[in-house]
Amino acid sequence: MAILNATPDSFYAASRTPDPNTLAAAAVRAAAAGADIIDLGGESTRPGAQPVAPEQERQRLIPAIAAVRRALPGMLISADTRHATTAAQALAAGADIINDVTGLDDPDMAALIARSGCGAVLMHHRGEFATMQRLPPLADPLGCVRQGLAAIAGRAGAAGIDAAQVVLDPGFGFGKNLDENLPLLAGLDELHALGYPLLAGLSRKSFLRQSAAEAPESRLEASLAAATAAVLAGVHLLRVHDPAPARATVAFADRLLLASLK
């Protein structure tokens, strides 16, 4: 899943492509580099980000979806939004999947997903975007995420969302302080007990840095190492900024995983 943002403030500058036609061209390049899904966002959810009104989010996101759909008629498109009103318009514009980083916090989102039959990536998070990195420490990060994802899956089922529509995302970096992400990655295979496919969004995130001064532009190698660990833990989808090196990494990790099962 390749990340492209119709935003001016997403944490990795190279992912920001506010112009719909330029974004569509970037999506074509991502597809050629090996992306299976294009994930489009109109609101930054980086640590410290301020909320964007749904109306402004839609002004950014819906033209981007339409442009990518015209450029790539057969591509799977994911709309990264936490607002049901935006999600409805995204699906009408050609999106196939709703990627909800709040795991159905909007009370209307579950009903929309159930009614539409679209795919849904439902993520675990803690707190608000502006303050989520200043929350009290977690005694058991993996246990917290496992419990939270089970609750999200339960809400989805109660709303009539078929289990086959759902992928769960542990939400690396979302309400987990830097080192709390490491036990989550190390224990990722335990989340298979929930019975759903898993997505890992690790690409260029802060917990991968070697020093506080290291910028996202310097985190490719650590991102690929983390992606390898995720694949060996059995993750089904990776959300990435760099589809070509990620694709090569996944291909080798898959070979290693298959060798370990023989």
pLDDT tens digits in sequence order for the chain, 262 residues long: 999 999 988 988 889 988 999 999 999 999 999 999 999 999 998 877 888 999 999 999 999 999 999 999 999 999 999 999 999 999 999 999 999 999 999 999 999 999 999 999 999 999 887 788 788 889 999 999 999 999 999 999 999 999 999 999 999 999 998 899 999 999 999 999 999 999 999 999 999 998 887 999 999 999 999 999 999 999 999 999 999 999 999 999 999 988 988 8
pTM to 2 decimals? 0.95
Mark whether 205 is an active-site residue: yes
User: Which residue in 239, 247, 255, 262 is the catalytic one?
Assistant: 239
Q: Domain range spanning residue 130? A: 2-261
Distances (CA, A) of 176 to 93, 99, 144, 151, 156: 34, 19, 10, 18, 23
Q: Which of 115, 205, 247, 262 is catalytic?
A: 205
Domains in the chain, number: 1
Active-site residue, 239 included? yes
What CA–CA distance (Å, rounded) separates 31 from 237?
15
CATH number, position 41: 3.20.20.20
User: Are the C-beta atoms of residues 143 and 102 closer than 8 Å to each other?
Assistant: no
